[in-house]
Amino acid sequence: MDQLALGLIWYAVLLFSLTLHEAAHAWVARRGGDLTAYLGGQASLDPMPHIRREPWGTVLMPLLSFALWGWMIGWASTPYDPRWAYAHPRRAALMSVAGPAANLLLVLAAAVAIRAGLAWQVFEPGFASFTQLVVGGGSPFAGAVAVFLSILFTLNLLLFVFNLIPVPPLDGGAAIGLLLPAPAARRVQVLLRRPQLSLLGIVIAWFAIGRLFAPIHGMALRLLF
């Protein structure tokens, strides 16, 4: 596939995945009583509020990483009221889990579409690479859809696994509050806000994902096919 077309598909999938992830955070926070993200426009599938909040993570870094490495990495964020989170630690933990849950939903949707395409002989099994789990059966349009679904499946599986690693500032660190009584969850919240722990957490997660993702991806492919 032409690199420009591949880049456009990559960016469409990444931006949609980040938008849905952050919108899920914002929607659950609103349901739980925190309107911060809702008032900022993040409880929406419109990507523009997310781009305005994180232009480096949603535009510049994805384009730069694709130019350098042929794949995209990026991020976005959702504001929330720390006082609300401290008062309602379980609701805050649910807000954190909502983002990865949205990514898992996209994995399942991509899997259903891929299976349907295989059953209808629109797709054929591909090379089990990031961008080619399946290939189009004969038309350029089918080929583009196959690449889109392949990236949608694998990228969102990666986002799901990465964000659930239980270290700050990732969602998995805050999700620990679901397993603790409220006083302990509040103490963990205060601890996880320390900037030095967030930096350490990113380093740990970066190395951990290299070990975690390959076996999880392999298991997901066995289930898919």
SS3 at position 7: helix
Q: Exposed (0-12), middle (13-18) or buried (19+): which is 155, by Cβ within 10 Å?
A: buried
Residue 90: phi and psi, rounded to 5, are -70, -40
Strand segments, DSSP code E, in the chain are 123-125, 134-136
182: DSSP letter? H
Catalytic residues: 22
Print burial letters for 162-177: b (CB count within 10 Å at least 16), e (below 16). bbbbbbbbbbbbbbbb
Q: How far apart are CA 201 and CA 166, in angstroms?
A: 9
